Amino acid sequence: GAGRHSRVCPAEQTMRTVTLACLLALAAVASASVPLSAHSLSRQATAARIVPLASAQPSTLRLKGGSAAGPKKVAILTAGGLAPCLSSAIGYLVEQYTLVDPSIEIIAYVDGYKGLLLGRSVKFTPEVRKLASVLTTHGGSAIGNSRVKLTNIPDCVKRGLVKEGQDPQKVAADQLIRDGVSVLHTIGGDDTNTAAADLAKYLKNNNYDLTVVGLPKTIDNDVYPIKLSLGANTAAEQGAKFFKNVVNEASSSPRMLIIHEVMGRHCGWLTAATARQYKDGLTATVTLPGIGFDSKKLDVHAIYVPELAINIEEEAKRLKKIMDEVGNVNIFISEGAGVEDIIKEMEAAGKEVPRDAFGHPKLDAVNPGKWFAEQFSSKVAAEKTMVQKSGYFARSSAPNLQDLALIKECACKAVECAMKGEGGVVGHDENTDTLELRACEFERIAGGKPFDVQEAWFKAMLKEIGQPFGAVQAVAH
């Protein structure tokens, strides 16, 4: 809940307050990633009337347990898919380091691990650091992302990131040493952070100490043992906003079947949370039943997640009744729902399933939404079927206020851990009694955490829409 993410971080008393008015003003600024130049940042900050941080503190702040000197140079990179937290996390990290000790150098590797392998980085100058909070109002990543697996040598060679015969881990390690980096902040999912942990281990075995402090970015909210990953709440809110418009397409044709595909490769949390936020908003929506415009037309009629088995035939019968009564059917599906069955069908038909550098099936090619449309369209006697995907719309958003509070809290903790030389991924640890905010050990970080379908709110939502609770099933990761 919000109460868990409201603790004041170290140095908060010295941090100037960014008011809600400023946040709203900055939201009107162009949505493109902020160029890392003092001139452009100054123009945007002037328009929003943000007061920059002081260029230097009278005395640097010392965190309890930290060394007298702290790191001399830190680096930041973002990797993997987008989430509504990347630019904000960068902004808060830079801002906090500037408050703790402005003498600590900060660089960012452009385009994630690709930039690290190619030695491409940008420096956060004192002028840029003053205005780092501008980044907290933007979606995307101001420094760019990429999907690179350092242990996938053939892929790195094929993409021109390393030469034939080179070890990407060694290339990355050598670059960090050349740059004099002692702390690396990785903002990404389990793949990003475990790759960083492997890199730190590689460097330690070669007598170079590197502290890696990660931040958990994934809208799927599927990272062990993190209670809530950065940006997930915003993604659910934006997915609900997306469908609030899309649902009106039901009036464009009689007997319309709308399938809303939500991101979530192995985990149904985002689909369920998006449906919940949409339905919560629906309670305040006024309709006109007297002319047949009933809230049932706007409601969610089915929610399919990977963790629950789906009886297509029985569900088709249930949805056919809704179609006959209401005139349209709205289905929310996770992009991971039914994927294993779809892949089996594709491979049986002799079709190749494209995969990314990490071996994950490319879901755009698998196309779960289209598959579900084909399963249900004729069975519910739909005259028109529409598949709409909210993923890119939701994940590229700037964070909402709840996420901003969580991102700032985690960024402050990440800097504290870096000053102490404590590595790990910062988040609320589910395996502690109080959901302690801490650097969770890398060996405990893993993807594929399933959505707990036994959550009371989820079961109540299925009951409300009349959907039977299917058999719980394990999801391969």
Residues serving a catalytic function are 220
Closest CA to 410 of 16, 89, 3: 89
> How far is CA 327 from each of CA 244, 293, 323, 324, 365, rounded to the nearest angstrom?
18, 11, 5, 6, 31
Enumerate the β-bridge partners of residue 109.
Answer: 121
Residue type at position 305? V
Long-range contacts of 247-253 (CB under 8 A, 24+ apart): 247/297, 247/298, 247/330, 249/386, 249/388, 250/297, 250/298, 250/327, 250/328, 250/330, 251/297, 252/384, 253/383, 253/384
Helix (H, G, I), strand (E, B) or coil at 416: helix
Torsions phi, psi for 306 (to 5 deg): -65, -25
398 burial class (0-12, 13-18, 19+ CB within 10 angstroms)? buried
Helix (H, G, I), strand (E, B) or coil at 355: strand
Helix (H, G, I), strand (E, B) or coil at 429: strand
Whether residue 83 contacts residue 142, with contact meaning beta carbons closer than 8 Å, is answered with no
Closest CA to 196 of 169, 171, 175: 169
How far is 199 from 207, CA to CA, in rounded Å? 13
Whether residue 386 contacts residue 249, with contact meaning beta carbons closer than 8 Å, is answered with yes
